[in-house]
Amino acid sequence: MPSLADFIAEHGITSTWKHVAGPRPSKEWPVGTHHYSVTMRRAMTMEDGGGGLMTVLYHMGAALTNPPTTEEVLETLAVDSSSYENAKDAEDWMSEYGETNVARGWRMYEAVEAQAQKLLEFLGEDLYKELLWETERE
């Protein structure tokens, strides 16, 4: 099974980041949280239908002082997307994460659903499935 680093290299995926203003500090985003806008790039290919750009917001705790790497961001997107794909529905997804606040759970589920769709469009269906189910991640 290829590693995530191999997947990134084979498909020419790169990323750039910039600091952005995040939400005000809260229980979910404590003081010191680093907020980034990360743009992933991949050359457009005719064979798989993916490519182009994908921009996501990415958040890191205060103790993580280096900016996010392409591998860290793609790992997070893959984990989130596979959790969405594995769930039967929103309630199943919330149950898996122990989310008891239904309103917050729905917001989170819908955000992960939208993010999974963006990743699918960025990679194309075949590479999306390869990343989620056939690539070794940590």
| DSSP secondary structure letter of residue 97 | T
Q: What is the pTM of this model?
A: 0.89
**Residue 38 corresponds to which tokens in the numbers above?**
């990360």
Displacement of CA 50 from its chain's centroid (Å):
16
Closest CA to 11 of 44, 46, 38, 54: 44
Cα–Cα separations (whole angstroms), residue 16 to 74, 76, 125: 12, 16, 24
* pLDDT grade for 52, boundaries at 50, 70 and 90: confident
pLDDT, tens digit (0-9, with 9 covering 90-100), for 17-34: 999 987 776 777 788 889
Least confident of 33-37, 45-49, 132-136: 45-49
pLDDT at 28: 76
Cα–Cα separations (whole angstroms), residue 127 to 11, 54, 57, 64, 86: 9, 15, 22, 29, 17
pLDDT at 7: 95
Beta strands in the chain (DSSP E): 14-19, 34-42, 52-60
CA atoms within 13 A on the CB side of 113: 12
